[in-house]
Amino acid sequence: MKIRHVLLSLACAAALLPAAAQEPQMNLPRVKLAAGMHQIDAQVAGTPDQRMIGLMFRKEMPQHEGMLFVFEQPSQQCFWMRNTFLPLTAAFVADDGTIVNLADMKPQTEDSHCSAKPVRYVLEMNQGWFAKKGIKAGAKLSGPPFKNQ
């Protein structure tokens, strides 16, 4: 019931986004991450507003790019795809960079995709990126967000 309430709140907030917010976020700070030998150039969504918009309204994204959602503390994170046009895979990531679980997400749906346990990070990449690279739950990401863990 709690998750449904959160999703309903997010749906209401997204519906009230001003017209200017209905543009893709293209100028967020970036961080270099790695999954083994694979490099990732990730935009960082670190504020509530940045996380709420995420990759909405994006029509394309280069294969080596993604978006890292950073939350203040670990908790169960649930994502959905309203106003998101790209098929994505979400990697739910623990503080030490370990991928807890992966979820393929269909564009423009309100299906909920949640972390299997509390996490602080979620990395969204083009759908199929993790599978093509052979990266599964249990693999570790490296980069500045995970250095102090």
The pTM assigned to this predicted structure is 0.85
DSSP state of 66: E
Q: How distant, in Å, are the alpha carbons of 38, 63, 78, 88 from that of 52?
A: 27, 22, 12, 16
Report the top-level CATH class of 2-146.
mainly beta
**Residue 105: closest CA among 132, 124, 77:** 124
DSSP state of 141: E
**Residue position matching structure tokens 């940045």:** 50
pLDDT digits (tens, 9 = 90+) for 102-139: 999 999 999 999 999 999 999 999 999 999 999 999 99
